[in-house]
Structure 1
């Protein structure tokens, strides 16, 4: 009986008013200057009815009562347009809207009822407000995400988010223009995500969300995903020169080499390049050098198809002073910027090519096809334990690999009417193939090779398919369901064991999603997200016959609300919970497999964005987390380095006279460094400042990091080590000191 009542209610929701003589609205949203379609514009009519423009700038709103209306079209960074429209029974009313760019105004930002959590509105605001001073700042856009660099500036940053020590990317999926950044079965650590090939000034949008709730996101997308999109078109050319303390220099340029616009077509090819170098603030110079080069061709053919070809390369080399033991500093053996072994460091490079084609067909299907290739090299020297294992030669290790990545993704989506309710269905499929050659962990230093600990070849294939369904149950309720299947083939040839062929394992996993949202008006949205995600483990885990645990699942739920109580204030808060299964983890620094037990994380996220007046903005993010291992005794169940309390915030000014500036803080509380909480990693609070002034074709910038010159520890680990003169090893905090006050100035020529 209950089932029948539910079916009757469901059908009535879909069919209510279905026999009324209503009209439909459809239209196209474009950028007034570039004449290209605008993705993500918000279109509202008659209270809570509305839609978002798709990648082709198109939208549709079905089942509108006949009458005269005003359509409100808004997009972050554009001036809102209000368009009158007359709706007639059983007819389609078509409108085209050209939006012009303008200064950010929070009064024009609306709560996005079509998104699963609406967090994209906050991301769109932040990318236009927060100064992106370096490639690290790009990741800091994500609320609650903290990073730590501990290897001379060339290594991928250590990431912390939602109670995870993500290491270098194990539980966060990062892409740039649809191409994965993370490296699976990496020589240093699973999911290693080196984002340094991305030139910060090329970033146009940052799409992100937290939790395993999104069907299009697969491997590693457990705590969050981040999608960086580079600029399709440049409005201006720019040449930038920067210099700072510690012999720091940077030269960056973005130039249009080809630009053609007609009434129906728009094409542009631009190149961007960057060269950075610094000695760093350590006693031993880091001798850091990095070169980046990127080219991007983008073409719109009418408003029905888009071709994008992107190629990039980067090369980096550096020295590092590594983590230093607390006892050596207390004893006066070294100061906090000294080193026990100053020969750490490495070199890395990556070259990428991507071809992407978007097409809208006459049948109203929209498709995206992307083919990509990456060539990657990595070589890293590290010494975490000094003379613990080798009292004569030291414990320096070398990790290296060379890999090729091939990938292809295809998606197809269509909007349709279910009764008189709008629905969107999306299908996706693809693969990623990693061919890793000579992946090695060795006992070696810069001059002498001693022996290999692990060495072999890895071949890993991840193929996937998914279906995602969105249904607008009413003007207020939306339902999103999804089902994803990922299949892996892991192969490893152990050269040290004399293997002549690859050992092999296969494994598949299913990831369902269910998200519900309720938006009574344009100022309030409630949502409940539920989903199962996963991250794969290193292919070398199969050497431990742990195949059943190489795709551990993460079960998550988010209950959140987004409010816009006034026209210049946006609030967002969420209660969340994540449960992680038992797994076996390959430890790249030791070449061993270790068990990692079940764990539970829960917390509260809070974000606020406020506009004081036309030129002054404020933002605040606060994140509280409790992370514990399951099945361990109380007091022995802490998760090392899991942040419990973090916060970032600041003030940003942007005036019509060309001045802009930002004063920001970042805070992370002290946290357990081991399972018993007997050793703690110190927290810190830092203040950074950036100022800029635009004078015609020139822009002058000043930045001060760690304005108050606080002593702080950037990366911290509870490590057992032995100094050369010590008879016995000691376990304590080892850390990389954070930067002292750092001043940098720059000038840009814009033409």
Structure 2
């Protein structure tokens, strides 16, 4: 029934579009131009409007724009976050305009909500301007409503929570960097595993995100949402930095500009991080990151960037500990039952982006990437439940090669008085994971039993098309995507060479509508189908199961300015999954949980109380239920119910600083809520003062030194001295009061 209703909405949209009045003739001419900063950097998404009318447009990746109905003597007004508005009088409509914006202090009063391209991107841009990303943990926390949790010594990918999902390590959120996917399909530890630690925080330029499955250019794992990070093409200045904190925490950073001309930019960035953590058994955690990027514009107009990076990390971990062991004094909150957990991982990337202007207001864009990745993880979640003599330690390992590309053609046109943007694209992603295995081990050195081992070969070929029609105060965005998957698996544990294969395709329609009530009020409605793919081994071993379960979503919301310097957003949303069915790498088994339904509300506020003082608040409430379980036993374990993030940031001359609060409410840890994962409230603080060329900084995590559990699971386990197993909360404690000092030299 719900599939029928969704299809009905999409068909109704196309009918509405067909009934739009026949376009008339707009007086004036089409004017082209380019919006850029004083340094010559093109500005994507600048708002260009014709003064005294509703005519407007946005700049593209090149900073280029096309606006209709302009006459000699007309004035174009251009606004962009963090820059002074610019007014340009059109002297010759046939001449190409060059609009240069001057940077200024950040003023929310200058924001124009009307026809904001992707409404949540505005929220992201505000947050990055007010409080730039400073740590790897903050990278994902920039997405409103997204919570993370580390539970394996700092080196493992974080646990993610968004829109009523315990996303594990990325099953229901698509993450990418410079067009290169971060999620790993058919990963040794779990489907969609997304380790973002190869991204140096200070290199992040833009964060593009959206919630729900409404975007034709985003495919696998885009159910709860997506996040795309864009790294900087150029450095405004070079810098070296040193960060020192308690728990033997030490970080160095170097970012050096190698080339900075009008059409060429190149820089390198390097990071080293070490920390023992607050645990009684040292984490011995280290991370190395090296990155280089070269970008520019060739004489033929081809715009390009080439990124190369290498990341490696190693760590020990105390793992998740049972509440009973802490309660009876066997261990402390920062102790361990098995401190031989840990792992190592590395990733080497090469990514190329190309784009070029074409005739008749169009451009093409392409990206290609190649990654070498390896992973090894030792864990013990149940201690002595399965093996009372040797313990239950497991080892997960894989070596992967990842290759892919995507290209798209984009065209802006006017159909009479209707502004239209058309885009078509296609791409391929190919994963080859060799030696993908799960074993029972002892003390990391002895293999007791190989449970699963083989080679995964998975390919995803896809195509998408979408359009944007600007009809008066309405904007309509239909979209359609097709994905084709090919799964292959060679089981090393079978005596005969017997490769298994399977293919499957999926069509996912999308549709959004926006009503621009005024420059300060925008209403939106979205609906669409998304999906997350299953692990190759699940697809081939459980052929009767759904291979690409659908996610049906709808959003109804608004973004508006209740006050001149306040931007608010609110969304009521709904999401139904045909099957929450994923491969559990920790056990090498399949865990189907049937159909689920989630709905809730997202609310956000951005307020500039004074020229130098900014406040942000994000609140979410979600109701998540299984549709195939009896009432009272239909809760979805670890699904967040209430979350709140609030921050107060100051930017005054050479001083920047802020205080940030994170609240995650109690939530069920099992289906009947007999086991509860306790909520927490944590306050963090940071302050920086710039006395050029030096910058001094101070960061305090958990300012109030509260006891909080960063990750929690309802787990059945048995300790060495126990006769019977116990199911209860197992947790990783959150960081206690931690202070770090930062010194940076800019040149």
TM-score normalised to structure 2 length: 0.96
Hey, what's the Cα distance between the residues in 2 that align with 1:69 and 1:125?
30
The SS at the match of 2:261 is strand
Contact residue 14 and residue 473 of structure 1 kept, 8 A: no
1:735 aligns with 2:731: yes
1:83 aligns with 2:88: yes
1:373 aligns with 2:388: no
| 1:542 counterpart residue number | 539
TM superposition shift of 1:10: 5.8
The SS at the match of 1:132 is coil
1:502-529 superposed Cα distances (whole Å, 9 cap, x missing partner): 2001011001001100002210000000
Hey, what's the Cα distance between the residues in 2 that align with 1:9 and 1:639?
38
1:701 aligns with 2:697: yes
Q: 1:427 aligns with which of 405, 409, 424?
A: 424
Residue 303 and residue 622 in structure 1: after superposition, are their counterparts in 2 closer, same or farther (change >3 A)?
Answer: farther
Residue 668 and residue 31 in structure 1: after superposition, are their counterparts in 2 closer, same or farther (change >3 A)?
Answer: same
In structure 2, list runs of 5 or more residues that go unmatched.
1-11
TM superposition shift of 1:78: 1.7
| 1:167 counterpart residue number | 168
Residue 280 and residue 12 in structure 1: after superposition, are their counterparts in 2 closer, same or farther (change >3 A)?
Answer: closer
1:521-600 → structure 2 map (5 Å cutoff):
521-546=518-543, 548-600=545-597
1:390-431 superposed Cα distances (whole Å, 9 cap, x missing partner): 000000000000000010111111111223211111011010
1:76-475 → structure 2 map (5 Å cutoff):
76-85=81-90, 92=94, 94-116=96-118, 118-261=119-262, 266-301=263-298, 304-445=301-442, 446-474=444-472
TM superposition shift of 1:95: 2.4
| 1:744 counterpart residue number | 740
1:694-718 superposed Cα distances (whole Å, 9 cap, x missing partner): 0010000000010000000000000
| 1:713 counterpart residue number | 709
Hey, what's the Cα distance between the residues in 2 that align with 1:232 and 1:133?
18
The SS at the match of 2:228 is strand
| 1:48 counterpart residue number | 54
Contact residue 23 and residue 93 of structure 1 kept, 8 A: no
Hey, what's the Cα distance between the residues in 2 that align with 1:218 and 1:378?
25
Residue 267 and residue 498 in structure 1: after superposition, are their counterparts in 2 closer, same or farther (change >3 A)?
Answer: same
Hey, what's the Cα distance between the residues in 2 that align with 1:517 and 1:408?
31
The SS at the match of 2:125 is helix
Contact residue 541 and residue 586 of structure 1 kept, 8 A: yes
Hey, what's the Cα distance between the residues in 1 that align with 2:591 and 2:23?
57
Task: Indicate the larger mover: 44-53 or 663-672.
Answer: 44-53
Contact residue 56 and residue 303 of structure 1 kept, 8 A: no
TM superposition shift of 1:131: 4.4
Contact residue 541 and residue 547 of structure 1 kept, 8 A: no
Hey, what's the Cα distance between the residues in 1 that align with 2:90 and 2:612?
33
Residue 543 and residue 489 in structure 1: after superposition, are their counterparts in 2 closer, same or farther (change >3 A)?
Answer: closer
Residue 438 and residue 11 in structure 1: after superposition, are their counterparts in 2 closer, same or farther (change >3 A)?
Answer: closer
TM superposition shift of 1:47: 4.2
Contact residue 23 and residue 415 of structure 2 kept, 8 A: no
The SS at the match of 1:15 is coil
Hey, what's the Cα distance between the residues in 2 that align with 1:732 and 1:471?
54
Hey, what's the Cα distance between the residues in 2 that align with 1:11 and 1:315?
54
1:627-657 superposed Cα distances (whole Å, 9 cap, x missing partner): 000021110000000000001011000012x
Hey, what's the Cα distance between the residues in 2 that align with 1:431 and 1:8?
33
- Aligned positions, number: 734
Contact residue 539 and residue 545 of structure 2 kept, 8 A: no
Please provide the CA RMSD for this pair: 1.7
In structure 1, list runs of 5 or more residues that go unmatched.
none
1:460-502 superposed Cα distances (whole Å, 9 cap, x missing partner): 000000111111122x101000110000000011111234132
